[in-house]
Amino acid sequence: MASWVGTRATATPSQVGAVVRAIQKTPIIDGHAHNLVKTEAQSKHPLLSITTEASGDAVDSAITSLPHLRAVRQLASVLRCGYTWESVVGAIEERRLDCPEDWTAVCLDGIETILIDDGLDSEDDANPYSWHDDYTHSRCKRIVRIETVASKIIRRLGRVCEQSAQTGDVFDDAYDEFIREFDAFIVTAIDDPDVAGFKSVICYRTGLDITSEANEAGARAAFEEIIANFTLLDFETLREKKLNDLVVHRTARLIRDSENKQKKPILFHTGLGGDDLAMAKASPSHLQDLIKAYPAAPIVLLHAGYPFTREAGYLATVYENVYVDIGGVFPCVSHDGQERILAQILELCPWSKIMWSTDGHRLPETYLLAVMQMRQVFETVLCDYVRRGHIGWRAAIDLVQGVLFKNSNKLYHLDLEFSVLEDETDFPQGSSLTEAEMLQAFLQNQPAPDLVRVCWSDFTASQRMRMVPFRKFTSLLSEGKSTDIGIPKAVFGLVQNDLRVPNVPPTGEYRLHPDFSSLRKGPIEGHITMQGDFREQSGARVPLCPRSVLQRAVEYGAENGLYFLMGFEIEFFILERVEAKPRNTTRHTSLTTDSHGWSASRYFANPKVSTLVRDMVAALEEMGIYVEQLHAEPATGQFELILPPYPPLVAVDTLLHTRDVMSALAAAAGFKITLHPKPLAHASGTASHLHLSLITPSPAGPINNLAPTVYTPFYAGVLTHLRAILAFTCPNPASYARAADGTWSGGRWVTWGTQNRATALRKIEGAHWELGCVDGLANPYLAAAAVLFAGVRGVVDGERMVWGDCEIDPAKLTANDRKELGVSQMLPGSVEEALAALGGDAVLVEMMGPELVESYVAVKEFELGFLGEMGEEERREWLMERY
């Protein structure tokens, strides 16, 4: 019995997708970063330092840190090099030598403007802040580091006093001159349109425990001590507490007393830092007295105060003039740590008080990693909140746009125009309608259905569903309740006859979430259908959910700039039903006909068959599924129906719904349709060929114009992992009865050929290829996911196409031919061999998910056990009843 829970309507996948697009496309105001150094100065800074605050010999230990290992994977995916640090370093050095400007542009992509603290490196090494304008959409601005200003003045006055002492002159008012020069600089900067704000690094000098009032007498004494011992001290940086405190107080006072109504903020380094940080005094809570002393001076707490994150969030919550910048922890903290930091800030702090920055510095890779990791973490945390109903999807978009752009734009008075970055990668577009609105739009101008189907496909490719009366379903929507359905967790431990795999417990429940974007009429009158995604009670994806695995594969492609169209050919038999006779279990037989042949026109003179296939095409067209071709195949009663190309998830949803429609119409006409790979021993087999195109998305539609340098490593990746992929595409003993040399079934060899239907992988044109070794007993979500994962990994790894273009049936190749073409491996000849190949392919197991692979293999092995106990005829009939 269905279990309904929840008092809030959760977001649809399309609405979650709208949040994801906001995270990916919102332009970034980088509210705090540092100058990139000149090319000739990059060698002074080890690349290993990009994920750590350590310096000196301590940097070497970073190679065993989680942030470093994550950065290796991410950089390798961008650089399309091997997944080792050595490969990454080599690829970056090559980019620096080849065209450093292009690589910098890649690293800073998506950043609208940068507010640059230019006090980190010397002018000899650092590019000026205006230099960065070439890589941002809007002009960059300065953040003035006040301790640097003070130190420069002190050094100049120290040298003047030193010279005065040598000539016998006395410079008595040096301290007063210091105050005058410092104040004048700050006042000028307040009025300078190129200055966005000020920054204090007192956290590094004497700590954040700044006195509530400036100690003028103590500051004067400290200054005079510095001047008196100027040569001896070899003064470089300001480290006298009373004088450091004074510099902060004077800056805050000048901002407060400025006649300019648009007060420029002071940014404070808090928390995370290098080995010279006063860690015991790095908590932003030490700033509370200063915050209260200058309520008119905006104060920004940098680096989320990490590890004092909650303290930073609290201060920004209770004081109007306090804001939190959560940059800097990207990429120096692990993925899980970053998720906790974002969640902790959002526990209490209004998102209108939160900003983001890269804290990028010296090397462009620091910017790249910060942006990549921010988007990943924002997606994980915020989309989970949306799915669980903790925040509405529209509010989540407001949050993203606020944190990444609007809050900084307002606080720093940048007056930049907000516009979402739209480009050709916005494919496919999703709907931002609510579930109720999507259902209403779908049912427009058609009668209300009686029942709503929510479907899923299990590990045996059995299409299963739950049905809900339409009245009940709409009442849940109107009351704002969840339409999720409780399904036992054992669902992915069942085989076709509902036996449970040993060791699969009967306890626990998933939530089956209907995807309203997959709404289709049918497959029979009075029904409407949606595909469902399995989720945990928390709203998180279920690793075993085949549809979610395909979603991950598509996302993996998008992360690497790869987009796809996918289409399926449905080969099927129309059988006549017969009554079983004693000692004969046959229930289905081939059609009685005068003649039949491949693409034969005369066969459609059979009125029952011609009416059935006509009704199939018409019914599908009414559902918005426009059949591209339909023709007879060689065996009696065998046909092929070709579906149009769609994005992968839509393609598989459409395939499954089409099969249900065809089966329903055949049953109504007194026939049986089967997808059995080899229903008749003497006849040709049936498949479900997968067509795949790598495309360039554009507003005008997808363009198949990718260069061979892009698609060749993709298909090389498919071939590299093809033996393991067969565990998902040919998952039943019957699958291997179809696979034979010389039968256009994909053959028995790992290879490819241009327009060669005897090869497993056929190149059709450009980036459009066809995989022939897929049949109707495969779960198409898992089959498609395995192909996409393998192909994208091929691009990431720069896989070489070591196989030559095979121009004949591979079975007819001589040993020397095979050597020349690189044809060295045969495809598995059984399910057992395919499962073993999967188990030996650590890369594909990792991408599909070890938990999924383990459960899938357990189901397949259990299935093999009871199928093996059947006789050949019994097994054939048993499978035809179910497929």
688 and 792, same domain (yes or no): yes
Average pLDDT over every residue of 104-118: 94
CA–CA–CA angle 398, 399, 401 (5° rounding): 65
Per-residue confidence (pLDDT) for residue 314, from 0 to 100: 97
Among 687, 647, 672, 665, which Cα is nearest to 554's?
647
Average pLDDT over every residue of 865-876: 83
φ/ψ bin of 639: left (φ > 0), alpha (ψ from -120 to 50), beta (otherwise) = beta
Distance CA 56, CA 843 (A): 36
**pLDDT score of 358 more than 90:** yes
Per-residue confidence (pLDDT) for residue 602, from 0 to 100: 65
- Of the residues 480, 511, 542, the one at which a domain ends: 542
DSSP-assigned letters across all residues of 727-772: HHHS-SHHHHHH--TTTTS--SBS-EEET-TTSSEEEEETTEEEE-
Domain of residue 342, CATH code: 3.20.20.140
Residue written as token pair 């450009």: 766
Confidence of residue 848 (pLDDT cuts 50, 70, 90): very high
33 and 97, same domain (yes or no): yes
Q: What is the pLDDT of residues 191-234, one digit of tens each?
A: 999 999 999 999 999 999 999 999 999 999 999 888 888 766 67
Distance CA 78, CA 368 (A): 10
Confidence of residue 572 (pLDDT cuts 50, 70, 90): confident
Per-residue confidence (pLDDT) for residue 113, from 0 to 100: 97
**pLDDT score of 13 more than 80:** no
For the chain, percent of residues with pLDDT exceeding 90: 47
Confidence of residue 677 (pLDDT cuts 50, 70, 90): confident
Contact 374, 330 (CB under 8 A): yes
Average pLDDT over every residue of 280-288: 95
Per-residue confidence (pLDDT) for residue 3, from 0 to 100: 31
Name residue 565's beta-bridge partners. 693
Distance CA 632, CA 775 (A): 18
Average pLDDT over every residue of 117-133: 91
180 and 119, same domain (yes or no): yes
**pLDDT score of 458 more than 50:** yes
Domain annotation covers residue 116: yes
Q: Is residue 169 packed enough to be buried (19+ CB in 10 Å), middle (13-18) or exposed (0-12)?
A: exposed
62 and 131, same domain (yes or no): yes
Domain annotation covers residue 18: no
- Of the residues 542, 566, 595, the one at which a domain ends: 542
Per-residue confidence (pLDDT) for residue 742, from 0 to 100: 60
Per-residue confidence (pLDDT) for residue 429, from 0 to 100: 39
Per-residue confidence (pLDDT) for residue 10, from 0 to 100: 52
Q: What is the pLDDT of residues 166-177, one digit of tens each?
A: 665 555 688 999
Confidence of residue 535 (pLDDT cuts 50, 70, 90): confident
Domain annotation covers residue 5: no
871 and 762, same domain (yes or no): yes
**pLDDT score of 735 more than 60:** yes
Domain of residue 662, CATH code: 3.30.590.10
How many domains are there within the chain?
3
**pLDDT score of 455 more than 50:** yes
Per residue, what are the HEC states of 180-237? HHHHHHHHHHHHCCCEEEEEECHHHHCCCCCCCCCCHHHHHHHHHHHHHCHHHHCCCC
> Which region among 566-575, 659-668, 700-709 has the lowest average model confidence (pLDDT)?
700-709
For the chain, percent of residues with pLDDT exceeding 70: 90
DSSP-assigned letters across all residues of 126-169: BPPGGGGGGGSSS--EEEEEHHHHHHHHHHHHHHHHHHHHHHT-
Distance CA 354, CA 356 (A): 7
Q: What are the φ/ψ torsions at residue 630 (nearest 5 degrees)? A: -150, 130
**pLDDT score of 615 more than 90:** no
Per-residue confidence (pLDDT) for residue 6, from 0 to 100: 32
Among 570, 630, 635, which Cα is nearest to 596's?
635
Confidence of residue 596 (pLDDT cuts 50, 70, 90): low
573 and 489, same domain (yes or no): no
φ/ψ bin of 500: left (φ > 0), alpha (ψ from -120 to 50), beta (otherwise) = beta
- Of the residues 542, 561, 594, the one at which a domain ends: 542
805 and 669, same domain (yes or no): yes
- 3-state SS, residue 392: coil
Q: What is the pLDDT of residues 416-437, one digit of tens each?
A: 988 764 433 333 334 456 777 7
708 and 820, same domain (yes or no): yes
Domain annotation covers residue 1: no
Residue 613 lies in domain: 550-882
Contact 319, 297 (CB under 8 A): no
244 and 169, same domain (yes or no): yes
**pLDDT score of 841 more than 70:** yes
254 and 368, same domain (yes or no): yes
Per-residue confidence (pLDDT) for residue 422, from 0 to 100: 44
Q: Which residue has the higher pLDDT, 634 or 294?
A: 294
Domain annotation covers residue 422: no
Contact 487, 883 (CB under 8 A): no
Note the residue count of the chain. 883
Contact 546, 785 (CB under 8 A): yes
Per-residue confidence (pLDDT) for residue 597, from 0 to 100: 63
Per-residue confidence (pLDDT) for residue 430, from 0 to 100: 43
Distance CA 53, CA 140 (A): 25
> Which region among 131-145, 366-380, 665-679, 784-798 has the lowest average model confidence (pLDDT)?
665-679
Q: What are the φ/ψ torsions at residue 226 (nearest 5 degrees)? A: -65, -45
Distance CA 755, CA 769 (A): 9
- 3-state SS, residue 276: coil
**pLDDT score of 753 more than 50:** yes
Q: Which two tokens stand for residue 66?
A: 């989680």
Distance CA 304, CA 325 (A): 6
Per-residue confidence (pLDDT) for residue 588, from 0 to 100: 65
**pLDDT score of 122 more than 90:** no
Domain annotation covers residue 13: no
Confidence of residue 8 (pLDDT cuts 50, 70, 90): very low
363 and 503, same domain (yes or no): no
**pLDDT score of 651 more than 70:** yes
Average pLDDT over every residue of 808-833: 87
Q: What is the pLDDT of residues 314-349, one digit of tens each?
A: 999 999 999 999 999 999 999 999 999 999 999 999
**pLDDT score of 68 more than 70:** yes
Name residue 113's beta-bridge partners. 29
**pLDDT score of 9 more than 50:** no
162 and 294, same domain (yes or no): yes
- 3-state SS, residue 400: helix
Q: Which residue has the higher pLDDT, 368 or 484?
A: 368
Name residue 513's beta-bridge partners. 533
Domain of residue 493, CATH code: 3.10.20.70
Per-residue confidence (pLDDT) for residue 583, from 0 to 100: 60
